[in-house]
Amino acid sequence: MLKVQEIRELIKLIDESSIHEFTYEEDGTSVTMKKSNGTVQKEIPVISETPQPVQSTPPPQMAQTEPENRPSVDTPENPVEKEEIQTDYDYEITSPMVGTLYSASTPESEPFVHIGMKVEKDSVVCIVEAMKLFNEIEAEVSGEIVEILVENGELVEYGQPLFRVKTK
């Protein structure tokens, strides 16, 4: 899955190019960007239900020419159905601040939570470091972790979903 910084770089490259539409797909994840009135709009990536191994690969090379009429382009004349995988969850644990997420208390420790793990309202699910302060993030609900949306060491934004929980 693309990281936030990689998506930002893609947005900048597309904004500076003559490309009007761009789609990137990898392991069940799809990111589509379309220019509208000179600005780039980004669709939320579809996250697959099964975790995929993380691979550090650079973004694909950007072509400076607009593609010819290809059948895979989603246009009103040629709609393309996109498969969306939904995870069964009732609640999203979101980041209360901007910072760096850590999934464990130390690099050698096991992560606080994993998929399938039962959590209580006061269970610590991760740590977000902001301005050299380490803030424990609690589940806020009782239930089961069904999806982890961020990786250890990833920068997170205020309000960004971190975990999905199926409540009891």
Model pLDDT for residues 54-92, shown as the tens digit of each residue: 555 555 554 455 444 444 445 455 444 444 445 688 899
For domain 91-167, the CATH architecture is Beta Barrel (2.40)
d(CA 145, CA 165): 5
Contact predicate 15/30, CB 8 Å: no
Summarize the confidence of residues 3-24 as an average pLDDT: 77
Amino acid code (one letter) for 110:
E
Residue 16 has pLDDT above 60, yes or no: yes
| pTM of the complete model | 0.49
Give per-residue pLDDT as tens, 107-154: 899 999 999 999 999 999 999 999 989 999 999 999 999 999 999 999
Local structure of 5: helix, strand or coil: helix
**Gyration radius (Cα) of the chain, Å:** 18
pLDDT at residue 22, rounded to an integer: 77
- Which SS3 state, helix, strand or coil, does residue 8 take? helix
Structural domain spans, the chain: 1-86, 91-167
